[in-house]
A and B are shown apart, each in its own frame.
Chain A
């Protein structure tokens, strides 16, 4: 059976089309105004990539911040379960998943089957989330994509004393004023986020191996900082940004029997 997972986050929408444990197609795009529309578009784009249409898909699961109201999904699953499933599929040794999203940060402890053992997340405070990186990058007039490279040029151990994003922004501006180097500030910012994420993870007791999901994992500086803060092996997974969508597509496979009208229609069509 062909299944799909559609993960609509606060910043990006991700879709994956899978068949028998293999990824057929995928797509990632920015969420602009409407989460539903972004979900629709990203799924269509993933299907187009492999010349399929929605009728060919047996079951679709939606997840993520904006994944709850998608009209075309058979069912929704929590991001926690999807990330857990996705991570174990990508890296069977996964013990804990750190997901730094645009508006939250999560730590999920999983067993070898991808079942969630325990999880913890912060969406109350912007500190430790992707938003922290966005705000500080903007204050430094840097693009998110260049942060990893800039981090590598740092030669000095600098740290931010403020955890609050609002106060840290002011602190960063005054560090620039005091003549501190941009790469050192960028590195300090990465450590600020990673410390926060690692302390969430530690409250669950870290179970190796750790993996990092979410678009922030693209940032190598952030990855290194997190590895350091966790004090355990952090392995990279190939589809870090698609992880939630992959998990959703896998769960859709398991639940093929309980899918709704769409499935029946597609079977009739075939």
Chain B
């Protein structure tokens, strides 16, 4: 049985094609202005990459911020369920998931069976989301990857006075103007991000293993600052892109529809 998972996020759109217990192809693109355009493009690309036709897909599930706007999937499922399912498949011992998206942040707790026990979401405030890092990266003229690496080179990270992205931005500009080294500011930004996320994580409560999904999981600066604040190691997803867990989960959930049948 071949299934497809499509995760249309605010910043990136992801697709995964699965056959039985194997991943046939994955694809990540930068999201377009319209969710259905993003969905179409990532869909076409992932099919091309798996070298199969649309008619070979038995069942498809859409998720993510733009999930309601995807015309060609058979079903839509919340991101929380997809992340839970995807991660459980990759890391069977996972119990707590921190998922940081382009404009939201979620903490999900799974029970022993991998079902969702508790979760908390922030999509009201840009602080603690990928957007915070994006805004700061732009001022510091660093891309997200470079921003993550600055943590290790800083001896003296700055402290940002406010969690609000707008006020923190003013703070960062102030530090730049007073010639504080970039790595100290970047480390301060990563720490601020981690501290905001840690509040949410502690509210939900940690149970090990703790894993992180979403693009920000690639930022080593935030990851290690979070580990310090939480006092718990974050389990690495080896050889697997943390950005595609939602799409993977969608493809896995699609397998429950064995009666979907080929069209």
User: Which residues of chain B have C-beta atoms less than 8 A from A83's C-beta?
Assistant: none
User: Which residues of chain A have C-beta atoms less than 8 A from B250's C-beta?
Assistant: none
**Pair A167/B126 contact, Cβ less than 8 Å:** yes
**Pair A167/B164 contact, Cβ less than 8 Å:** no
A124-B162, A177-B33 given as contacts; is B167 within 8 A of A164 (CB)?
no
- How far, in whole Å, are A174 and B163 apart by their CA atoms in the complex? 26
Partner of A166, one of B33, B135, B163: B135
A window 99-146: CB within 8 A of B: 103, 124-126, 131, 135
A237 part of interface (Cβ distance < 8 Å): no
A163 part of interface (Cβ distance < 8 Å): yes
Q: Write the chain B residue with the least CB distance to A134.
A: B166
Partner of A126, one of B33, B103, B132, B164: B164
A166-B135, A167-B103, A177-B33 given as contacts; is B124 within 8 A of A124 (CB)?
no
**Pair A124/B163 contact, Cβ less than 8 Å:** yes
**Pair A126/B124 contact, Cβ less than 8 Å:** no
A182 part of interface (Cβ distance < 8 Å): no
B131 part of interface (Cβ distance < 8 Å): yes
**Pair A163/B124 contact, Cβ less than 8 Å:** yes
User: Which residues of chain B have C-beta atoms less than 8 A from A209's C-beta?
Assistant: none
Which bucket holds chain A's interface residue count? 10 to 19
- How far, in whole Å, are A1 and B121 apart by their CA atoms in the complex? 58
B125 part of interface (Cβ distance < 8 Å): yes
A158 part of interface (Cβ distance < 8 Å): no
User: Which residues of chain B have C-beta atoms less than 8 A from A126's C-beta?
Assistant: 164-167
A window 166-199: CB within 8 A of B: 166-167, 174, 177
**Pair B131/A166 contact, Cβ less than 8 Å:** yes
Chain B contributes a number of interface residues (CB within 8 A of A) equal to 14
User: Which residues of chain A have C-beta atoms less than 8 A from B132's C-beta?
Assistant: 166
A230 part of interface (Cβ distance < 8 Å): no
A204 part of interface (Cβ distance < 8 Å): no
Q: Which applies to chain B's interface (DSSP): helix, strand, loop or mixed? A: loop
**Pair A131/B166 contact, Cβ less than 8 Å:** yes
Cβ contacts B144-168/A at 8 Å (1 or 0 each): 0000000000000000001111110
User: Which residues of chain B have C-beta atoms less than 8 A from A163's C-beta?
Assistant: 124-125
**Pair A135/B166 contact, Cβ less than 8 Å:** yes
A150 part of interface (Cβ distance < 8 Å): no
- How far, in whole Å, are A110 and B221 apart by their CA atoms in the complex? 48
User: Which residues of chain A have C-beta atoms less than 8 A from B165's C-beta?
Assistant: 126, 164-166
Chain B nearest Cβ from A248, distance in angstroms: 25
Partner of B164, one of A125, A174, A177: A125
Chain B nearest Cβ from A159, distance in angstroms: 15
User: Which residues of chain B have C-beta atoms less than 8 A from A131's C-beta?
Assistant: 166
Partner of B167, one of A103, A162, A167, A174: A103
**Pair A164/B163 contact, Cβ less than 8 Å:** no
- How far, in whole Å, are A124 and B160 apart by their CA atoms in the complex? 12
B window 114-154: CB within 8 A of A: 124-126, 131-132, 135
**Pair A166/B166 contact, Cβ less than 8 Å:** yes
User: Which residues of chain B have C-beta atoms less than 8 A from A103's C-beta?
Assistant: 167
Chain A nearest Cβ from B124, distance in angstroms: 6
User: Which residues of chain A have C-beta atoms less than 8 A from B124's C-beta?
Assistant: 162-164
Chain B nearest Cβ from A137, distance in angstroms: 14
- Given A124-B163, A164-B125, A166-B126, output 19 extra A-B contacts at Cβ < 8 Å: A124-B164, A125-B125, A125-B164, A126-B164, A126-B165, A126-B166, A126-B167, A135-B166, A162-B124, A163-B124, A163-B125, A164-B126, A164-B165, A166-B131, A166-B132, A166-B165, A166-B166, A167-B103, A177-B33
Q: List 19 A-B contacts (CB under 8 A).
A: A124-B162, A124-B163, A125-B125, A125-B164, A126-B165, A126-B166, A135-B166, A163-B124, A163-B125, A164-B125, A164-B165, A165-B126, A166-B126, A166-B132, A166-B135, A166-B165, A166-B166, A167-B126, A177-B33
Chain A residues near B (Cβ < 8 Å): 103, 124-126, 131, 135, 162-167, 174, 177
Nearest first, the 7 closest Cβ-Cβ pairs linking A and B are: A126-B166, A166-B126, A166-B165, A125-B164, A164-B125, A165-B166, A164-B126
